[in-house]
C-alpha cells in the first residue's frame, strides 16, 4: 500500500490555526449554525462537484442523507488530485481539506469557480465543522482514502485499491457541538439541487434520503437548462406563447436567459451569477431589463404598433406577466448588498443588454405572432398603469381635501415611533370592536376590514387602489404601494393580521399576504408582517385560572398536566373558539394581543420561487393544481405561512 508523507511543518501549524478559527467563529464562514448553516455544508461539497461539471468533466452527482444524518456526496469527475503538493508537502486532497481557501488556488484555471454557494469557502470549512470527514478519490488507476476528525488528519491519504474509474466521494458527519441541529431537511436540499440541475444543462443530480422508514429519492436532469426552469416556474400558469424565448451566448462572459410570458400581472425574474441566486439583482439584471425595454419599444415602433403620438412603453409594462431566468458566469464577481447577493461588476450590464438586444430582436422578427401577443399585453399594462396613476392621484386629492391621510376606520395608537408601534388588521366589525377595547392604545392601532374581497392575483394596480378593502390598508401602512413603496415610511413596525382560525380567516390571511407579497414585498422581506395566533380552546373550571390552548397538541398536553394534578377531563369545561368575536376584550388582550403572553408568527420570505407558486396556485385561475395543493398541504393549512 502506498502511504503519503505526513509531516507537520510550519505550514501545517498555520493550517491547524486556520481551521481552529473556523470552529471558533463558524458563522463567519457559513452564515450561521442553524439548520441553514448545516445545509451550507452540503452545498459547499456539492459545489465542488458542480464546478467539475462546469469544467466539463463530471456528469453525475449523487447525494445521500444516510441514517444518522451522515451526508455522502459522490461525483464522476476527475477526482481531486492526489500527488504531493509542492507548497504544503502534503497530498493535494489533504491540502484542499485542511488549508482554508485552498480550493481554487491549487487547481489552476478550470473556469468559473462557483465554490461555496453564498460564502465561497470550500471543503476545508466543512472539514473543520464536521465530527469526521472521509474523502475517497478514484484517479490514476487507484482508489485513495483519507480521514479527518474535526479538521485534523487522522488517517493520511492511503491507496486502498485499484480502479479504472475516476471521481470523488465525500462523507461527513457534522459536528453536533457546533450546530444547533443535525437534522437535514430533505425538501430544502431537494429544491436546491433541482435548481442547480436547471442551471447546469445536462448535469444529473440525484438525492436520496435513507433516514426514516420510507426512503425518498429524486433525480434531476434537464437537457433544456433554463428553458426547463422557466417551464417549471410557469407550470401552473396560463402561457402567452408555447416555447420559452431562449438566449444562449457563449464567450468570456457566458450568458443564458429564458423568457416566457404568462397572463398573470406579476413579474417573476430570477437571476444567478455563477449559479448563485442573486436575490438582490445587480448589473446583469439591469442589463437584461434595459435590453428588454429597448427591443420591445423598437419593435413596436418599427411595426407601427406604437404610433408616433404614443409614448414609449415603460419597463414595468413590458415586464408584466414575465417569467424569466438569467444566468451569467463572471470570472471575478463582485458581490454587494446587504446579503452579498447583488452583482456589482459594471461591465456586465452592457454585455447582457447587447446579448438581449441581438437575440430578442431576431426572435421577435421571426415570431411575429408571439411578438404581437406580448405587445398587446404590454400595451394593456401601460393603460392600466395610467389608470392606476389617476386612481392614486384621486386618493391623494381626496386625502388632501379631507385633511387626513388616515382611513376613517383606523383606531390609531397614540405613540408615533414606528419601531414601537403595531397595527392589527382585523376582519369583521365585532372582533374589531373587541380589539379596540382590549388593546393598549399607546402602541397598538386597530384597523377593522370591511367591504368587498378582491383577488389581488387577478387584478391590476388600478383596481387595487380603488378597492375599499385594501385602500385603508395602504393608507394605514403609510408607505405607498408597488414600485412607489418606501419601507422607511412605514407607520408601524409590526403589521399583524388577526383573523379567525377557520376557512374564512384563512381566506383573508391569504388575501392580505398575497397583497403584501405582490405590492409591498419589502414589508415581508424586512420582517414586518406577522400573523396573530388566537387560541382554539379554553379550558375552565370553577376556582381555576382559565387555560388557553393554541393547538390540538396544546389541548392534549393541558389535559394530561391537569390529570396529573388530579383534575379529570370531565370536570373541565371546554370551549372551542369559532371566531375572535367570541372573546371579550379582556380575553382577546390576554390571549392574542398582550406582548407578554401572545403568540405571533413572523411571516418569512425564505423562498421567492415557492411563495410565487403558493400564491399562484391558491389565488389563481387554475382549479386542478389548487385542489392538489390543498390536498397535499391540508395538514398545514391551519398554520398558513409563506
Ligand atoms: C464530492 C466532492 O470535490 N470533486 C472534485 C474536486 C476537484 C476536482 C475534481 C479537480 C479539479 C481540478 C483538477 C482543477 C478539486 N480539485 C481541487 C484541486 N467532489 C469534488 N472533482 N482536477 C480535479 O480545478 O484543476 C480542488 S477541488 F485544487 F485540488 F485541484
Residue whose CA is at the smallest distance from ligand 1 atom 19: 49
Pair 100, 22: CB distance under 8 Å? yes
Q: Give me the pLDDT at residue 8, please.
A: 54
Which of these, 419, 289, 282, lies nearest to 339 by C-alpha position? 282
pLDDT at 111 over 60: no
Distance from Cα 64 to the centre of ligand 1, integer Å: 20
Rounded Cα distance, 606 and 601, in Å: 14
Residue 459: pLDDT band by 50, 70, 90 thresholds?
Answer: confident
Q: Give me the pLDDT at residue 638, please.
A: 39
Pair 248, 634: CB distance under 8 Å? no
* CB crowding 78-94: b at 16 or more within 10 Å, else e: bbbbbebbeebbbbbbb
Tell me the average pLDDT across 37-46: 96
Residue 121: pLDDT band by 50, 70, 90 thresholds?
Answer: low
Distance from Cα 27 to the centre of ligand 1, integer Å: 25
Tell me the average pLDDT across 27-55: 93
Atom in ligand 1 nearest the alpha carbon of residue 73: 1
Distance from Cα 518 to the centre of ligand 1, integer Å: 42
Distance from Cα 93 to the centre of ligand 1, integer Å: 8
Q: Give me the pLDDT at residue 88, please.
A: 87
Residue whose CA is at the smallest distance from ligand 1 atom 27: 103
Atom in ligand 1 nearest the alpha carbon of residue 170: 1
Atom in ligand 1 nearest the alpha carbon of residue 74: 1
What secondary structure does DSSP assign to 228-296, as a single string? Answer: HHHHHHTTTS-BSSSSPEEEEE-SSS-EEEEEEEBSSS--EEEEEETTEE-TT-BHHHHHHHHHHHHHH
Pair 597, 590: CB distance under 8 Å? yes
pLDDT digits (tens, 9 = 90+) for 607-631: 778 888 888 877 776 777 777 766 6
Distance from Cα 199 to the centre of ligand 1, integer Å: 20
pLDDT digits (tens, 9 = 90+) for 492-524: 999 999 988 777 788 888 889 989 998 999 999
Tell me the average pLDDT across 334-344: 90
Mutate which of 80, 82, 123, 137 for ligand 1? The one with the most ligand atoms within 8 Å of its CB, which is 80
Tell me the average pLDDT across 578-603: 91
Q: What is the mean pLDDT of the chain?
A: 89
Residue whose CA is at the smallest distance from ligand 1 atom 18: 107
C-alpha cell, 203: 448535469
Helix (H) or strand (E) holding 440: none
State the fold for domain 537-601.
Dna Ligase; domain 1 (3.30.1490)
Residue whose CA is at the smallest distance from ligand 1 atom 3: 48
Distance from Cα 183 to the centre of ligand 1, integer Å: 28
Mutate which of 43, 48, 134, 157 for ligand 1? The one with the most ligand atoms within 8 Å of its CB, which is 48
Q: Beta strand 216-220 with 152-162: parallel, antiparallel or unpaired?
A: unpaired
Mutate which of 63, 99, 130, 168 for ligand 1? The one with the most ligand atoms within 8 Å of its CB, which is 168
Pair 111, 48: CB distance under 8 Å? no
Q: Beta strand 529-532 with 255-261: parallel, antiparallel or unpaired?
A: unpaired
Q: Which residues contact 300 (CB under 8 A, 6 or more apart)?
A: 306, 313, 375, 378
Give start-end residues of each CATH 3.40.50.670 domain in the chain.
404-533
Mutate which of 52, 73, 172 for ligand 1? The one with the most ligand atoms within 8 Å of its CB, which is 52
Atom in ligand 1 nearest the alpha carbon of residue 103: 26
Pair 339, 346: CB distance under 8 Å? no
The side-by-side arrangement of strands in the sheet containing 245-249 is 245-249, 255-261, 322-328, 268-273, 276-277
Rounded Cα distance, 531 and 554, in Å: 18
Give the torsion through C-alpha atoms of 5, 10, 15, 18, to 10 deg.
170
pLDDT at 288 over 90: yes
Distance from Cα 161 to the centre of ligand 1, integer Å: 20
Distance from Cα 1 to the centre of ligand 1, integer Å: 23
Q: How far apart are the first and last CA of the chain?
A: 55
> Check: CATH 3.30.470.10 for 10-220?
no
Give start-end residues of each CATH 3.30.565.10 domain in the chain.
10-220
Residues annotated as catalytic are 427, 500, 502, 504
Tell me the average pLDDT across 199-205: 96
Q: Give me the pLDDT at residue 109, please.
A: 45
| The architecture CATH gives domain 226-384 | 2-Layer Sandwich (3.30)
Residue 403: pLDDT band by 50, 70, 90 thresholds?
Answer: low
State the fold for domain 404-533.
Rossmann fold (3.40.50)
Tell me the average pLDDT across 156-178: 97
Q: Give me the pLDDT at residue 9, please.
A: 56
Residue whose CA is at the smallest distance from ligand 1 atom 15: 80
pLDDT at 120 over 50: no
pLDDT digits (tens, 9 = 90+) for 513-556: 989 998 999 999 899 999 998 999 999 999 999 999 988 999 99
pLDDT at 54 over 70: yes
Out of 115-124, 271-280, 296-305, least confident range: 115-124
pLDDT at 313 over 50: yes
Atom in ligand 1 nearest the alpha carbon of residue 61: 1
Distance from Cα 29 to the centre of ligand 1, integer Å: 20
pLDDT digits (tens, 9 = 90+) for 415-444: 999 999 999 999 877 788 999 999 999 999
Residue whose CA is at the smallest distance from ligand 1 atom 23: 80
Residue whose CA is at the smallest distance from ligand 1 atom 6: 80
Q: Give me the pLDDT at residue 636, please.
A: 39
Within 6 Å (CB) of ligand 1, which residues are found? 45, 48-49, 52, 73, 75, 77-81, 92, 96, 103, 106-108, 110, 168, 170
Give start-end residues of each CATH 3.30.1490.440 domain in the chain.
537-601
Atom in ligand 1 nearest the alpha carbon of residue 167: 21
Residue 632: pLDDT band by 50, 70, 90 thresholds?
Answer: low
Q: Give me the pLDDT at residue 107, please.
A: 42
Which of these, 534, 493, 507, 535, lies nearest to 619 by C-alpha position? 507
Residue whose CA is at the smallest distance from ligand 1 atom 13: 107
Residue 116: pLDDT band by 50, 70, 90 thresholds?
Answer: very low
Question: Strands, E, within 114-252: which ranges?
Answer: 130-139, 142-149, 152-162, 167-174, 204-209, 216-220, 245-249
Contacts of 474-481 with C-beta under 8 Å, sequence gap 24+, read: 475/395, 475/399, 475/405, 475/406, 475/407, 475/410, 476/406, 476/407, 476/410, 476/423, 476/425, 476/445, 476/447, 477/423, 477/520, 477/523, 478/405, 479/520, 479/523, 481/519, 481/520
- Helix, coil or strand: residue 424: strand
| Phi-psi sector, 162: left (phi>0), alpha (psi -120 to 50), beta | beta
Tell me the average pLDDT across 35-45: 95
Amino acid at each position: 500500500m502506498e502511504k503519503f508523507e505526513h509531516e507537520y511543518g510550519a505550514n501545517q501549524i498555520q493550517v491547524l490555526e486556520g481551521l481552529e478559527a473556523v470552529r471558533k467563529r463558524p458563522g463567519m464562514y457559513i452564515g450561521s449554525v442553524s439548520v441553514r448553516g448545516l445545509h451550507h455544508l452540503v452545498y459547499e461539497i456539492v459545489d465542488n462537484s458542480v464546478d467539475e461539471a462546469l469544467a466539463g468533466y463530471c456528469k453525475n452527482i449523487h447525494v445521500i442523507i444516510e441514517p444518522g444524518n451522515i451526508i455522502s456526496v459522490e461525483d464522476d469527475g476527475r477526482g481531486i488530485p492526489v500527488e504531493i503538493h509542492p507548497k504544503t508537502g502534503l497530498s493535494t486532497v489533504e491540502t484542499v481539506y485542511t488549508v482554508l481557501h485552498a480550493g481554487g488556488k491549487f487547481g489552476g484555471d478550470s473556469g468559473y469557480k462557483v465554490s461555496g454557494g453564498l460564502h465561497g469557502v470550500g471543503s476545508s470549512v466543512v472539514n473543520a465543522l464536521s465530527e469526521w470527514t472521509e474523502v475517497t478519490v478514484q484517479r490514476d488507476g487507484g482508489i485513495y482514502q483519507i480521514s479527518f476528525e474535526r479538521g485534523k488528519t487522522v488517517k493520511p491519504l492511503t491507496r486502498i485499491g485499484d480502479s479504472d474509474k475516476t471521481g470523488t466521494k465525500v462523507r461527513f458527519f457534522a459536528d453536533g457541538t457546533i450546530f444547533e441541529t443535525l437534522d437535514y431537511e430533505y425538501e430544502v436540499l431537494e429544491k436546491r439541487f433541482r435548481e442547480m440541475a436547471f442551471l447546469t444543462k445536462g448535469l444529473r443530480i440525484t438525492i436520496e434520503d435513507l433516514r426514516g422508514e420510507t426512503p425518498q429519492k429524486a433525480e434531476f436532469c434537464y437537457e433544456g437548462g433554463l428553458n426547463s426552469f422557466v417551464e417549471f416556474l410557469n407550470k401552473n400558469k396560463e402561457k402567452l406563447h408555447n416555447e420559452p424565448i431562449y438566449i444562449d451566448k457563449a464567450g468570456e462572459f457566458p450568458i443564458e436567459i429564458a423568457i416566457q410570458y404568462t397572463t398573470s400581472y406579476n413579474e417573476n425574474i430570477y437571476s444567478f451569477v455563477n449559479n448563485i441566486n442573486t436575490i438582490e439583482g445587480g448589473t446583469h439584471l439591469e442589463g437584461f431589463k434595459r435590453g428588454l425595454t429597448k427591443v420591445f419599444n423598437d419593435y413596436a415602433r418599427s411595426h407601427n404598433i406604437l404610433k408616433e403620438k404614443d409614448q414609449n412603453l415603460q419597463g414595468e409594462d413590458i415586464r408584466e406577466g414575465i417569467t424569466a431566468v438569467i444566468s451569467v458566469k463572471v470570472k471575478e464577481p463582485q458581490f454587494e448588498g446587504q446579503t452579498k447577493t447583488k452583482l456589482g461588476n459594471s461591465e456586465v450590464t452592457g454585455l447582457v443588454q447587447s446579448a438581449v438586444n441581438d437575440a430578442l430582436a431576431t426572435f421577435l422578427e421571426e415570431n411575429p405572432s408571439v411578438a404581437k401577443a406580448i405587445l398587446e399585453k404590454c400595451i394593456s399594462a401601460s393603460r392600466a398603469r395610467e389608470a392606476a396613476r389617476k386612481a392614486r392621484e384621486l386618493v391623494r386629492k381626496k386625502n388632501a381635501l379631507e385633511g387626513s391621510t388616515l382611513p376613517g376606520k383606523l383606531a390609531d395608537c397614540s405613540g408615533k415611533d414606528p419601531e414601537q408601534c403595531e397595527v392589527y388588521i382585523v376582519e369583521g366589525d365585532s372582533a374589531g370592536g373587541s380589539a379596540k377595547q382590549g388593546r393598549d392604545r399607546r402602541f397598538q392601532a386597530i384597523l377593522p376590514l370591511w367591504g368587498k374581497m378582491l383577488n389581488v392575483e387577478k387584478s391590476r394596480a388600478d383596481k387595487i387602489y380603488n378597492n375599499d378593502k385594501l385602500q385603508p390598508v395602504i393608507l394605514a401602512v403609510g408607505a405607498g404601494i408597488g414600485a412607489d413603496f418606501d419601507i422607511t415610511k412605514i407607520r408601524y413596525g409590526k403589521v399583524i393580521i388577526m383573523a379567525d382560525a377557520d376557512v374564512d380567516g384563512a381566506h383573508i390571511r391569504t388575501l392580505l399576504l398575497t397583497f403584501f407579497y405582490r405590492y409591498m414585498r419589502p414589508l415581508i422581506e424586512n420582517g414586518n408582517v406577522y400573523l396573530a395566533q388566537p387560541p382554539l380552546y379554553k379550558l375552565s373550571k370553577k376556582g381555576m385560572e382559565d387555560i388557553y390552548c393554541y393547538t390540538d397538541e396544546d389541548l392534549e398536553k393541558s389535559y394530561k398536566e391537569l390529570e396529573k394534578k388530579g383534575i379529570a377531563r370531565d370536570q373541565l369545561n371546554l370551549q372551542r373558539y369559532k371566531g375572535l368575536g367570541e372573546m371579550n376584550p379582556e380575553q382577546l388582550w390576554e390571549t392574542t394581543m398582550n406582548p407578554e403572553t401572545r403568540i405571533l408568527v413572523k411571516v418569512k420570505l425564505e423562498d421567492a420561487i415557492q411563495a410565487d407558486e403558493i400564491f399562484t396556485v391558491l389565488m389563481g385561475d387554475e382549479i386542478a393544481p389548487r385542489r392538489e395543493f390543498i390536498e397535499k398541504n391540508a395538514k398545514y393549512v391551519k398554520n398558513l405561512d409563506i
